[in-house]
């Protein structure tokens, strides 16, 4: 399959749009990482498998504050900062 694509500029970057059919022919789709190389004056694109991303873990306020009771010993300017009730939408 031969496709003619024009290089254009977008926000200071040079961009080439690849047709879906061309990407599908190499097993690539939206969000597929491509390894790009130049061989014999041609750009070669090969899809690469990326490790699965783990979903970001949400921490409770108690988990985030583990060890915080020692902060005043390290930095006296923080004394009293951990006293008092929650003032926002903190998780318990």
Task: Tell me the pTM.
Answer: 0.49
Model pLDDT for residues 76-87, shown as the tens digit of each residue: 777 777 677 777
The answer to whether residue 19 sits within a structural domain is yes
| Spacing of C-alpha 47 from chain mean position | 18
Helices and strands of the chain, counted as H and E runs: 3, 4
Largest CA distance in the chain: 69
Domain count, the chain: 1
The answer to whether residue 70 sits within a structural domain is no
The answer to whether residue 89 sits within a structural domain is no
**CATH assignment of the domain containing 13:** 2.10.260
Instruction: List the domain range (segments joined by +) for residue 39.
Output: 8-48
What is the pLDDT, as a whole number, of residue 28?
92
The answer to whether residue 27 sits within a structural domain is yes
The answer to whether residue 32 sits within a structural domain is yes
What is the pLDDT, as a whole number, of residue 91?
62
**Token digits of residue 33:** 């990482």
Judge whether 43 and 37 are in contact, CB under 8 Å.
Answer: yes
Model pLDDT for residues 19-74, shown as the tens digit of each residue: 999 999 999 988 899 999 999 999 999 999 876 677 788 888 888 889 888 877 88
């Amino acid at each position: 399959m031969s496709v003619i694509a024009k290089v254009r500029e977008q926000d200071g970057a040079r961009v080439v749009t690849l047709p879906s059919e061309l990407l599908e022919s190499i097993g690539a789709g939206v969000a597929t990482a491509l390894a790009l190389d130049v061989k014999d004056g041609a750009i070669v694109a090969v899809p690469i498998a990326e490790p699965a991303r783990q979903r970001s873990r949400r921490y409770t306020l108690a988990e985030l504050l583990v060890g915080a009771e020692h902060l005043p010993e390290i930095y006296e300017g923080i004394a009293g900062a951990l006293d008092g009730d929650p003032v926002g939408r903190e998780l318990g």
